[in-house]
């Protein structure tokens, strides 16, 4: 069972506010990911990290930023929230298992509503 945590679980915020979504994992995984999930359920990779001080933009352009100062922590920040940022944000981490197969483990998600 994976131990990956996200806070807050739900957030309602006004336009223009700065927010940080927290993601922590206790498994010592090097690789971590942020996905944005739209109402149609599709998952879009917006950021990923292969280790401390490593961050990359994902396949979907996002106005958010991330940092990776500690292995276990991968926060996502929106400097100025807009209604278009309303979505569910999922954090994941992965490790190479048997045969070097990467298995991703997901947190419970943060549901964000920007008014």
Partner 1 sequence: GDSVTQMEGPVTLSEEAFLTINCTYTATGYPSLFWYVQYPGEGLQLLLKATKADDKGSNKGFEATYRKETTSFHLEKGSVQVSDSAVYFCALSDRTSGTYKYIFGTGTRLKVLA
* Site residues for partner 1 per CB under 8 A: 6, 31, 33, 40-43, 45, 48, 50, 58-59, 90, 92, 94, 99-109, 111
Q: How far is CA 58 from the centre of its chain?
A: 11
Q: Cα–Cα distance between 45 and 58 in angstroms, integer?
A: 5
Min. distance of Cβ 105 from partner 1 in angstroms? 7
Q: Cα–Cα distance between 10 and 65 in angstroms, integer?
A: 19
Q: Which is nearer to partner 1, 63 or 102 (CB)?
A: 102
Min. distance of Cβ 79 from partner 1 in angstroms? 25
Q: Cβ(15)–Cβ(81) under 8 Å?
A: yes
Min. distance of Cβ 23 from partner 1 in angstroms? 11
Q: Which is nearer to partner 1, 13 or 45 (CB)?
A: 45
Q: What are phi and psi of 59, to 5 degrees?
A: -80, -25
Q: Which is nearer to partner 1, 14 or 40 (CB)?
A: 40
Q: How many angstroms separate the Cα of 110 from the Cα of each of 36, 51, 67, 101?
A: 10, 23, 18, 27
Min. distance of Cβ 101 from partner 1 in angstroms? 5
Q: Which is nearer to partner 1, 16 or 50 (CB)?
A: 50
């Amino acid at each position: 069972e994976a131990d990956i945590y996200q806070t807050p679980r739900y957030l309602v915020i006004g336009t223009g506010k700065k927010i940080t979504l927290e993601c922590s994992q206790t498994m010592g995984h090097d690789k971590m990911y942020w996905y944005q999930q739209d109402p149609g359920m599709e998952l879009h990779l917006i950021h990923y990290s292969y280790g401390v001080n490593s961050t990359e933009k994902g396949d979907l352009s996002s106005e958010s930023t991330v940092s990776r100062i500690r292995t276990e922590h991968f926060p996502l920040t929106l400097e100025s929230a807009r209604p278009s940022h309303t979505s569910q944000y999922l954090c994941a981490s992965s490790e190479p298992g048997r045969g070097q197969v990467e298995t991703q483990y997901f947190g419970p998600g943060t549901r964000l509503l920007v008014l």
